[in-house]
Structure 1
Amino acid sequence: MDLEKSAPAVRGDASRGEGCLAVAIRVPVRIVALVLVVPVRMAWDALVVAGRFLGDAVFRPLGRASLWVVRAVFVWPFAGLWRYVLVPLGKVLAWLGKALVVLPAAVLYRHVLTPLGHALLWVYARVLTPAGHAVVRALRVGGAVLAALGAGAYAGLAWLTRYLVVVPSVRLYTWVLAPAGHAVAWCVKGLVRLVTMIVTGVGAGLYWITRILFVLPALAVWRWVLVPVGGVLAVVAREVGNALGHAWRVAGRVSLAVGRFLGALFRWVFVEPVRWVYRSVLTPVGYMVRDAVLRPVAEAVRGAGRAARQALAAARASVRRARADVRRVLLGEPAGSRPGKPAAPRPVDRREPTGRETRTLGSRTTSLTKD
């Protein structure tokens, strides 16, 4: 148990030793990063807010308007052209193609090509097929004769080739070319072994020279210089990255607090006074103007309108009565009327009455209903 606990303690001491370097680098780096990143983050947040505002207030309506213009200029004309021009024209062309091409082609196929095909089939079955069988039989007999002649010629050529070409070639290879080839192969193998030994020696020398002059110094530089420097640079880079991330988050909180402060300041400086003025000043003034000016003016205008309509109705009734009296004086009574018969009732003006009471509460009549 003691041994198991001692190993983490050693690792903790090593991490604490590395942590001292990290802390020594972290504090100034975080201060510098915070000073440099806060303006950048605030500018970035301001650009984001401006971009959202422009997107909602400018680009989205502009895009919708552009889409509507594109539809109105391109889509709807082409849709109308397709629906009201091309589709009817296509139907007409399809009908013309069917009437001028398909039906004549069907008639030609049915009444011309089909009988002609049956006639050609009869000629093929009754004339060409027997003639073809006869030609095939004649070709078979001629082929058998030619095959017999070819077999004899092939046997003669094979015997001549065997004893004039193959047998001399085999003897030449066995007694001349094979021994010469073995001798040449032995010489080549010896030469290859000699060249291999020379190349191996030269390669070993070059290997040790390269190892002593280049590999060992490079390995020493890597192990004793680059690895420690790289470790320090890695710690510095890690701390710089962590400092930038921490500064970015802190700058975000600072930017959020500044934005909320500016929003609250704008609200209390502009929005709340405007709201208070609207609620406490403009709304009562509007109600007062409505009750004191607009409603009396509207009532006066409506009364003037009613008076004008009544005057026009009275004038029309007077004109009708005067016209009836003139017609009666000039032309006399109508043919169907008798002396002493009571006159026809005059038409009653069924518009609004002339008095102030235009509607009764105890009856069913209104100002616009009949008497």
Structure 2
Amino acid sequence: MAWAWRREWCARAVGVALALAAARWWQAWLPLLGTLALARALASACALWLAPALPRRRLPGLSRRAVLVTGCDSGFGHEAALRLDALGARVFAGVLQPRGPGADRLRRLAPGRLRVLPLDVTDAASVAAARDAVHAEVQEHGCELWAVVNNAGILQCAECEWMDIDDLKQILDVNTLGPIRVTKAFLPLLRQSKGRIVNLISLADEVVLSCLTPYTISKFATFAFSKSLTSELSKFSISVHNIEPWIYRTNLTECASSILEKKMEKIPEDIKNVYSDEYKEKMKQLAYHAINLTSADQSKIYQVVESIEDACFSEDPLLRYTPGAHSKLVKHCSALIDFFQPIVLKFILRSK
């Protein structure tokens, strides 16, 4: 068996070595606890920045491996399906609109192995039908379902008090219960291949922004589900991998401002007078600038696609991916964001 690069642990070892070197040179100023704290910080930083850059080896025989990707109508899922197909894998691209422009583009650009599959992750019958179709096709072509990429997701913007419970149920149904339904349905096939589950989580599981309450709740829950799976499925040799990007300008983010505006129009009458028009206008501006100043351009979606590819087909995949320099910086600054955000909302976005 070819030796696989243990990228994450190699990177962490570099961080620990740097900390020990620092302790050797500055023994008088660096007590034991400081050394341990420095070692942990450097190990985490090296795992975040260095591990993805280390050499990687791709699994052999991709033509015998099939991958299911949900949410392929647009965005990450759409581009990932095309990329995995180009590598030679058999791709099942789950779409909500089988006759929509996204599905048509997939058929046009990948007319060979790629199969466009109707898949509504909120509908148990649709998920079961997709599972049966995948099972039949992998048997017919003599391959195995190697990976499931849970990518489908929606965005809801609102402060907690503005939030309609039905909106919260909807986003949980797609972003959290959707991956659970899909994973449960396809686990028997993954058990046979000892394959992989790849979950698109987003950094919303660590960085909480005002007005993204419903979305953040759904991503925290999905991260908890993913972490539980990591423990539960190890006995079947099924690995679980998280992709945690920050904001990229996709169809999902481009409609964020309009979604927020619609929610503001539907604020319940009994609390509408609490939030002045000035507050709501400043909140819209803050949301707009937060997305545009910290997001990556749509042309850099390839960073997320490369992480999905690596999680699916690397001999030594990482457990967590944070694609893009902007995502890594936001991850490092999450504590600062948590500290300053209430201050900003209190003093800059005062309603009165």
What TM-score bracket applies, with the shorter chain setting the length?
A: under 0.3
Looking at both structures, which has the greater relative contact order when contacts are Cα pairs under 8 Å and sequence separation is at least 6? 1
Whichever structure has more strand as a proportion of its residues is 2
User: TM-score scaled to structure 2, two decimals?
Assistant: 0.16
- Structure (1/2) with the larger helix percentage: 1
What TM-score do the two structures reach when normalised by structure 1? Answer: 0.15
Q: Give the greater-gyration-radius structure (CA).
A: 1
